Structure 1
Amino acid sequence: MKIALFSDIHANLPALEAFFKDVETRNTDAIYCLGDLVGYNIWPNEVIDEIRRRGIPTLAGNYDWGIGRSSDECGCAYKTDEEKAMGKVSISYTNELVKEEQRRYLRTLPAHIRLEYQLNHDKRNILLVHGSPRKVNEYLFEDRDEKSMLRIMEQADADILCFGHTHKPYHRILNSGTDGSNHYRHAINIGSIGKPKDKDPRGGYVILTINPESTVADKDSIQVEFIRFHYDVEKAAKAIEDSPLPNEYAEMLRKG
């Protein structure tokens, strides 16, 4: 079973279109979107419509949650007054752009998607979230303490936890086994296709492969492939510069 997982499009239609072209060459069995369809660019309605047209199961990201409720808060963790001011422009402009039908769609998106596999007498749970199982806008960075990450996954009954929100991809393997037994859990941040933050401007997503012989006792019985693809970054950046959005968002796209 090959599962494509993507997240954090943020109204970047050129990136989404390039993603669809790339993923269509990968021979995947299923595809899921982990949220944040809108914000920071000019195509929120078009992005929503493309996701809906393909019938892709999709979660609500923190930005989707805010825009779905016509809120002026996106649940974003802006660190400086300048970032907060820029963020206010973005959510205000996005609220102006999003049409009522698309807003209703955002408002009804689920918070989690759980997949349960029965393989080799093991139950293997995959949990898809946007930020974390606890909160849509909680950041699970790669340097989170191992005990904390394990506690989050155990409480959520997740053997494989897939999430976005930080826009920085990584894969951590943790062992929650006791008394000499192994129970491997996988924390997978799938990155962002429309607003990367790992100094690589290419869009990014993950293909997760569940092998028929998969078991929690074998850490290598799933494969996680990080895919990067080129898209017309300049088109997306220029669209920002020609809009009321802060030009800084255009430079972020160019620099990743």
Structure 2
Amino acid sequence: MRIAVLADIHGNISALEAVLDDVSSRGADLIVNLGDCVSGPLWPRETFERLERLGAPTVRGNHDRQVAAFDSTKTDASDRFAFLELSEAKRKVLGQLPFSLQFAPGVVGFHATPTYDDRYVLDDMVSGILVRAPIDKIVRRLGPSEAKLVLLGHSHRPDLVRLPGGTTVINPGSVGCPAYFDPTGQAHVSESGTPHARYALIDVADGKDPAVMFLALTYDHEAAARRAEINNRPDWAHALRTGFMPRATN
């Protein structure tokens, strides 16, 4: 069985279309979506409608939850933009997405962790940058699991870890947002280092470790960056062009 794993699209329909075209050319038995579908200053409505037509099994990300439950005192600019672009019915769909799913026998997925949609399993913050967490932390954060394969997103950082108990944990990276700054808690950045659209293809066979391909695709990221600029988000524009967050200058 071949599974195409998408995560963290963040309203970037240009990147999404590039990924779906690539999936079509390579073939997949199943496409799954790990959430954070539309939040961002790009094309929330168009992305929602494309995903609706796709009909892929999808779990709810923290930004899907925040767009659905808009709070003007807490919601950030990306969530606010998506909230205003989506109808009430579309926001309701986002809010009702399941927290986690079993996509296939032995294959489970959620956005971030088994119990929280806004924390990390595979990642730690070191000097303000996300890096791979120690294996004992990963095991503790994931908790007991009978799954052979765990799929998660949230950090936008592609990664693949096989745990001592035999479970393989995969983050496919972000389809549409190659870098971000999170000011909450311990402020940090996630940076992929390039503007590519990312996803993963996983070949699953009984009795074998999964074979995993991490794909990084070119697409018209400049058009996405210009869209971010039009919507007054130069930080997003820089991230979309470079895969890095802008650095403060004195």
- 1:163 is matched with 152
1:248 Cα deviation (Å)? 1.2
- Listed one character per residue, the Cα deviations across residues 161-183 of structure 1 (whole Å, up to 9, x for unaligned) are 1111111101111212xxxxxxx
Q: What is the DSSP-based 3-state SS (H/G/I as helix, E as strand, rest coil) of the residue aligned with 1:18? A: helix
- 2:118 is matched with 137
2:232 maps to 1:251: no
The answer on whether the counterparts of 1:35 and 1:58 sit within 8 Å (CA) in structure 2 is: yes
1:151 Cα deviation (Å)? 2.9
- 2:218 is matched with 230
Q: Which has the larger radius of gyration?
A: 1
Following superposition of structure 1 onto structure 2, how do residues 77-226 of structure 1 map, counting pairs within 5 Å?
A: 88-115=76-103, 117=105, 125-140=106-121, 141=123, 143-176=132-165, 184-196=166-178, 197-214=191-208, 221-226=209-214
- 2:56 is matched with 56
Q: What is the DSSP-based 3-state SS (H/G/I as helix, E as strand, rest coil) of the residue aligned with 2:237? A: helix
The answer on whether the counterparts of 1:153 and 1:161 sit within 8 Å (CA) in structure 2 is: no
What 5-or-longer segments of structure 2 have no aligned partner?
Answer: 124-130, 179-190, 244-250
Q: Distance in 1 between matches of 2:50 and 2:9?
A: 12
* Range with bigger deviation, 3-12 or 135-144: 135-144
Q: What is the DSSP-based 3-state SS (H/G/I as helix, E as strand, rest coil) of the residue aligned with 1:205? A: strand
- 2:8 is matched with 8
Q: Distance in 2 between matches of 1:162 and 1:211?
A: 16
1:230 Cα deviation (Å)? 0.9
After TM superposition, the score normalised by the length of structure 1 is 0.82
1:115 Cα deviation (Å)? 3.9
The answer on whether the counterparts of 1:41 and 1:236 sit within 8 Å (CA) in structure 2 is: no
Q: Distance in 2 between matches of 1:34 and 1:92?
A: 21
1:210 Cα deviation (Å)? 0.7
1:154 Cα deviation (Å)? 4.1
- Listed one character per residue, the Cα deviations across residues 33-72 of structure 1 (whole Å, up to 9, x for unaligned) are 0000112223111111111112111111110001112234
Q: List 4+ stretches of structure 1 deviating above 4 A.
A: none
What RMSD over aligned residues (CA atoms) do the two structures have, in Å? 1.6
1:126 Cα deviation (Å)? 1.8
Q: What is the DSSP-based 3-state SS (H/G/I as helix, E as strand, rest coil) of the residue aligned with 2:156? A: coil
